[in-house]
Chains A and B, each alone.
Chain A
Amino acid sequence: MTVRPVIIELSHSSPMASSMALDAGPSIDGVTIDPSFAPVQIPRVEERSVFDTDEVSRGSRFRVDMEPQASTYIVRGTVEEKEIERIAARPDVVQVYADVQIEPFLICPGAPPKGNATDVANNLCVSKLKAAGANGAGVRVAIVDTGINSAHLNAKGVAHALDAGASWAPAGGPQPGKAAVGHGTMCAYDVLIAAPQATLIDVALLASKQQGFLAFLSDAVAAYNHLLSLMNGIVFPGANRSLVVNNSWGMFHPSWDLPVGHPGNYSDNPNHPFNKIVATLEAAGADILFAAGNCGSDCPDGRCQGVTQNVIYGANSHPAVLSVAGVDIGKTRVGYSSKGPGRLTKQKPDIAGYTHFAGSGVYAADGGTSAACPVVAGVVAAIRSKRPYVAGNATRSPAAIRTLVRSTAQDLGAAGYDYDHGYGVVDGCAIAAKLQPVIPGPFPGPFPGPIDLCKKYPHLCGIKLPPVPKPWPIPVPVPVPPIPRPGPQLEFGAEGADGPPESVFDTVAALQGEELAQALDIVWRAGYAAAREPAESRSHDRSGPCNC
């Protein structure tokens, strides 16, 4: 007995109409109706006559009739396979269809590319980044990989700058820019999508070719030592010191390492020499990015040997780096992108970048988290051309850039951070807005202009007023009581004190109107001037009305 999930299309009928009103399906003998699935009205759709000029001229090719009597209705449920024919023959049943299971289409190894580099550039808002002046100009980007083939990039129409003098390779490695076309060239191409003006540094780490492997971690220590020398080298005034380091490589399986807990372990041990030098290079000001890996649980790379949990090893999960997962241009996570948590830092990956698109031409698809990482590295380089690294400036530190990238990311998947996408996919549009804030226009409406408070209340701004002219043009000389000064004060009438005669208060009290205002103004000005003179320099001569 095979039970099938089915969709049943029903004609309009009074019982069906009642069922629609109650949001419950009708009862059909032999069918277990799904009560959670409300019947769906399917309106009648007819192609319009060519003579129906009004609607046709408006571009509406089809006529939709929403009248209940013209519609059919679908419900879903399960039925024994042998009953399908009988149910389909019912007069109120239009047809019985299979209700097939669907799943999200995840890109897996071997899948064709989805989209191309132009789609990636559009998703990254490269045009807005460029308009904001963020194009990688003046920024060095180290491609720590198999080596770059400049001729291939040029043939693809990607003009680029490469600093051969700053490049590095192990003994016997390729010349800068002249490596065989391969993985490193793909990474270089993908960096240049968002940072076309960046200067590439070719670090052909994965070219040592020992014992059948591309390289060993000790080669990476040596490569990073070279990058440190670049960061710590001579800096010309005004030069952009920024260095972005792309690492689309890592360890695939724990068996390649000493066991977790062993003091020599790499994957979980912050004391490992390579994890130490990564921290040192970041502290020197470099922006370091690592691909999260291709051991995603949905369809991992074969080299993962089925291990898909806790697979972001060592430096790929370092707290001082950006760990990059992969999504396609539709912002769906690719099935092989490694999920968190990370080994050194749990909250990894940090961010997702675009991958599995037709780009460099090195492969059918620029794929893996290998491509996602340089896509994000290019955005970081673009940021650095607007906000270059400045030693001692926290707002320009690598940590600040990581925060900027994470905080502007477009959230994907579960709300907030998640182990599939990190904080989301890198958002060049939001970053461009941050780099070039919109200046608000003039305020609308009859609002008063800005008030110059210092002009209106100079004493609030410590502005010293010009000296009061003498003699002061008032008809009545107004002796002014002494203004209290720091230091010993003499009492009125005491020897040496020039206190006012007792009658001055009666004199002042008798003033009115303009005279009183002027007298009070004199008092205020004299007090102001006196308060701003050092006590020892103030004259005690009270012979005139303003020498207080």
Chain B
Amino acid sequence: MTDATMVQFECPGSPPSLSEAAARLGVPAEALDTGFGVIATSPAEHLYTVLVAAPYAAAAGAQAGDGPAAGRFANPPIDTFGPPSE
């Protein structure tokens, strides 16, 4: 899913399914990347992350929660570190 945004949200209790996560974030299920799924980025803090298509990212981010770890997050490109070139 290109141009997708990572949205991290709080969900106490048992790990949510993809459909539960979509409902939690107030977006349709097809807005979430099924290949990415729902990833428990910090089970100790009940934090989960999904990959949301760009048109729904703002809405999902608004519903993610109030904590500093909840919301939309950058998805920057990454690259290998060498051997370096000028």
Contact = CB atoms under 8 A, between A and B. Distances in A.
Interface of A: 108-110, 145-146, 170-171, 183, 206, 210-211, 213-222, 225, 228, 248-252, 256-258, 262-266, 269, 271-274, 276-277, 279-280, 283, 291, 293-294, 299-303, 336, 355-356, 363-371, 373
Interface in B72-86: 72-86
A258 B74 contact: yes
Given A225-B39, A263-B71, A273-B49, A217 B85 contact: no
Given A217-B74, A264-B73, A250 B41 contact: no
Given A221-B6, A367-B83, A279 B78 contact: no
Contact of A249 (B8, B71, B79): B79
B17 interface: no
B6 A293 contact: no
A369 B39 contact: no
B13 interface: no
A170 to B, nearest CB: 8
Contact of B85 (A171, A301, A356): A301
A222 B2 CA distance: 15
B77 A215 contact: yes
B31 interface: no
A291 B79 CA distance: 12
Contacts of B42: 276-277, 279-280
B75 A217 contact: yes
Interface residues of B, number: 34
A310 to B, nearest CB: 16
Given A257-B74, A258-B74, A271 B68 contact: yes
Given A257-B76, A303-B85, A336-B82, 15 more contacts: A108-B86, A217-B77, A218-B36, A221-B41, A225-B40, A248-B80, A258-B74, A266-B74, A273-B8, A273-B41, A276-B8, A277-B41, A300-B84, A301-B84, A366-B83
A56 to B, nearest CB: 48
Contacts of A258: 73-74
B35 to A, nearest CB: 6
Contact of A213 (B40, B68, B77): B77
Contacts of A263: 68, 71
A441 B41 CA distance: 52
A219 to B, nearest CB: 8
B54 interface: no
B29 to A, nearest CB: 18
A213 B80 contact: no
A306 to B, nearest CB: 12
B43 interface: yes
B25 interface: no
Contact of A367 (B8, B45, B78, B82): B82
23 contacts: A109-B86, A110-B85, A183-B82, A210-B2, A213-B78, A215-B77, A216-B76, A218-B6, A219-B78, A221-B49, A225-B40, A228-B40, A248-B80, A248-B82, A256-B76, A271-B8, A273-B8, A273-B41, A273-B49, A276-B45, A280-B44, A293-B81, A302-B84
B41 A363 contact: no
Interface of B: 2, 4, 6, 8, 35-36, 39-45, 47, 49, 51, 68-69, 71-86
Nearest to A277: B41
B79 A264 contact: no
A336 B85 CA distance: 10
B79 A213 contact: yes
Contacts of A216: 75-78
Given A215-B77, A258-B74, A221 B39 contact: yes
B76 A217 contact: yes
B42 to A, nearest CB: 4
B58 to A, nearest CB: 11
A258 B75 CA distance: 9
Contact of B39 (A222, A291, A356): A222
B83 A109 contact: yes
A369 B81 contact: yes
B73 A371 contact: no
Contact of A368 (B4, B6, B82, B86): B82
Nearest to A171: B35
Contact of A206 (B36, B45, B78): B78
A-B residue pairs, 4 tightest by C-beta: A368-B82, A367-B83, A370-B82, A213-B77
Contacts of A218: 4, 6, 36, 51, 75
A216 B51 CA distance: 12
Nearest to B3: A211
A266 B73 contact: yes
A294 B84 contact: yes
Given A276-B8, A283-B44, A302-B86, A214 B76 contact: no
Contact of B73 (A146, A249, A272, A303): A272
B73 to A, nearest CB: 5
